Amino acid sequence: MAEPAYTRLQVDERRRQLIDAGSTLFAEYSFEEISMRQIAEAAGVSKALLYHYFPNKIELFKAAIQEHAGDLQRITEPSGQGTPIDQLSESLDGYLAWIERNAVTWAKLVQSATALPEAREVVQSFRAATLQNIVVRLTGTRSPPPALRTTLQGWLGYIDAAILDWVDNRDLTREQLRDLLVAAFAAALLAAQQADPKVRLDVA
Amino acid sequence: MAEPAYTRLQVDERRRQLIDAGSTLFAEYSFEEISMRQIAEAAGVSKALLYHYFPNKIELFKAAIQEHAGDLQRITEPSGQGTPIDQLSESLDGYLAWIERNAVTWAKLVQSATALPEAREVVQSFRAATLQNIVVRLTGTRSPPPALRTTLQGWLGYIDAAILDWVDNRDLTREQLRDLLVAAFAAALLAAQQADPKVRLDVA
DNA sequence: GGCATTTGTTGACCGATGGTCGATAAGACT
DNA sequence: AGTCTTATCGACCATCGGTCAACAAATGCC
């Protein structure tokens, strides 16, 4: 007659469910805009339980966005064919297509990531992985000279800012933007080469 | 015999003092790292008084960083002589010199600004002013075509990211970095021109 | 079928935060 | 000396991230 006050789940099940809830909410709101209470509520669970599964908010956040990062990683995986520039263009295309489908999520993700040093690592590390292949093939070295390293970091910032502008205005096609980013990449490398002769590139 | 429990100041005086306190603290810590109570304490004043002068934390923050923004604006004011590229180089030099002297402040400022949409406006608007002159002279137009606008926004992101990398590693001289940024600017414009023929530049 | 054990789950609590409000007292003006 | 304006404060509120001891649902055992 008396129904249970709560249903007990397997650890894996519950964990999955909590990550899903977080992933859904963090896709629409930034880190600070969502409280642990709201996430718990969305999952139909007490806040204390959330803390039983995750030591703190940041860890839950990292686990939640890891989901989206996984999607992105898969999408931007280069096919390994063509010139480095071709591969870059290919990766960027997948990247931009995903953002086109998930504009809000991307905006909130960038917003959260820049604010939280620990979340920045997640984003940076996944981007670095994609970039690394291309850089190694392009420069033949794993640890680039300072001018090149700074240039590449700058280019990553360029991408973020340009995409943010694109999402806000939407007056370029995805292909146009992709070409712009690729051209900016090539141009930035040239600029680095010009500023520091130590920077050598395998592609003219 | 009984000395006053508190001293009463003129509105202007008190406001100045509170902004100074905020400006000092926000120069060393990010928006979230400082509480209103701390600011009030630093000014030797109750928290309620802070709220009497500023409607909320963000407004106080904006007023406080406006100070630093004013410094920067003055420093990066172009002399109006030489080619647009020369002027850009000149502005950037002042900008970088300031950052070299106030590395922590700059880092915390960027961190706060990217996280808070409302604070971003302050930073963006001041940068836009400096950029505007150069763009007008360079392109002859006040409202650039989309590809150019996106490119310029991207370049601003490039600057932030490159400087952040520079501050972290400090393995480039200020002149090297300045040249890198200027070269990247020219290169990015070329890339924009190449991606969209509608982008015309007065300098080859 | 009943009972003990395990552990997933909860409500109540903590200090700190951003923010509000009515009461008070400092100082200027007469 | 007395009055009035208003700059200032202490006390309060909801909410935040986070903690903890106690409860109760499912499971295994006999």
Strand C contact at CB of residue B117, distance < 7 A: no
Per-residue pLDDT of chain A (204 residues; tens, 9 = 90+): 467 889 999 999 999 999 999 999 999 999 999 999 999 999 999 999 999 999 999 999 999 999 888 888 899 888 888 888 898 999 999 999 999 999 999 989 888 887 788 888 888 887 777 777 777 777 777 788 899 999 999 999 999 999 999 999 999 999 999 999 999 999 999 889 888 888 887 764
Is B143's Cβ below 8 Å from some Cβ in A?
no
Query: Is A47 strand, coil or helix?
Result: helix
**Hey, are the CB atoms on A157 and B153 less than 8 Å from each other?**
no
Find out whether A134 and A88 touch, Cβ atoms under 8 Å: yes
Task: Give the helix/strand (H/E) hosting A139.
Answer: helix A117-139
Nucleic acid strand C: bases within 7 A of protein CB: 8-12, 16-22, 25-27
The rounded distance, in Å, linking the Cα atoms of B163 and A202 is 26
Find out whether B188 and B154 touch, Cβ atoms under 8 Å: yes
Going by C-beta distance under 8 Å and a sequence separation of 6 or more, which residues neighbour residue A78? Answer: A87, A88, A90, A91, A130, A133, A134
Is B149's Cβ below 8 Å from some Cβ in A?
yes
Task: Give the helix/strand (H/E) hosting A146.
Answer: helix A146-169
The rounded distance, in Å, linking the Cα atoms of A17 and B81 is 63
The pLDDT tens digits for B110-140 are 888 878 888 888 888 877 777 777 777 777 7
Closest nucleotide to B38, Cα to C1': C17
* pTM, entire model: 0.89
Mutate one of B150, B172, B174 to test the A interface: name it (highest A CB count within 10 A): B150
* DSSP per-residue codes, B16-35: HHHHHHHHHHHTTS-GGGS-
Find out whether A121 and B117 touch, Cβ atoms under 8 Å: no
**Hey, are the CB atoms on B194 and A183 less than 8 Å from each other?**
yes
**What crossing angle do the helices spanning B117-139 and B57-76 adopt, rounded to 10°?**
20
Half-sphere exposure of A108 (CA within 13 A, CB side): 19
* DSSP per-residue codes, A5-43: SS----HHHHHHHHHHHHHHHHTTS-GGGS-HHHHHHHT
**Own/partner pairs for A65-71, CB < 8 Å, 24+ apart?**
A65/A23, A65/A26, A65/A109, A65/A112, A65/A119, A65/A122, A66/A122, A67/A19, A67/A23, A68/A23, A68/A27, A68/A102, A68/A105, A68/A109, A69/A122, A69/A123, A69/A126, A71/A98
Res B1 pLDDT > 50:
no
The rounded distance, in Å, linking the Cα atoms of B25 and A97 is 42
- A and B: number of Cβ contacts within 8 A: 137
Strand C contact at CB of residue B47, distance < 7 A: yes
Find out whether A97 and A174 touch, Cβ atoms under 8 Å: yes
The integer distance in angstroms from the CA atom of B37 to the C1' atom of C5 is: 50
Residues of A in contact with B183 (CB under 8 A): 190-192, 194-195
The pLDDT tens digits for B156-190 are 999 999 999 999 999 999 999 999 999 999 999 98
Closest nucleotide to B47, Cα to C1': D9
The integer distance in angstroms from the CA atom of B25 to the C1' atom of D7 is: 24
> Mean per-residue pLDDT for B47-57?
98
**What's the farthest any 2 CA atoms get from each other in chain B?**
81
Is B183's Cβ below 8 Å from some Cβ in A?
yes
Triad A104, A108, A112: Cα angle to 5°? 170
Strand C contact at CB of residue A47, distance < 7 A: yes
Find out whether B92 and B84 touch, Cβ atoms under 8 Å: no
**Hey, are the CB atoms on A165 and B184 less than 8 Å from each other?**
no
Closest nucleotide to B50, Cα to C1': D8
**What crossing angle do the helices spanning A57-76 and A11-26 adopt, rounded to 10°?**
80
The rounded distance, in Å, linking the Cα atoms of B176 and B93 is 10
Is A107's Cβ below 8 Å from some Cβ in B?
no
Sign of CA dihedral B87, B92, B95, B100: negative
Find out whether A162 and B157 touch, Cβ atoms under 8 Å: yes
Triad A71, A75, A76: Cα angle to 5°? 120
Of the candidates A161, A164, A180, the beta carbon closest to that of B195 is on A180
pLDDT confidence of residue B203: 60
Q: How far is A59 from chain B (nearest CA, A)?
A: 19
Half-sphere exposure of A60 (CA within 13 A, CB side): 30
DSSP 8-state secondary structure symbol assigned to residue A3: P
Closest nucleotide to A9, Cα to C1': C8
The answer for A 61-90 residues in CB contact with B (under 8 A) is none
pLDDT confidence of residue B112: 87
* Of A92, A110, A126, residue with least CA distance to A165: A110
**Hey, are the CB atoms on B153 and A161 less than 8 Å from each other?**
yes
Residues of B in contact with A155 (CB under 8 A): 158, 161
Closest nucleotide to B58, Cα to C1': C18
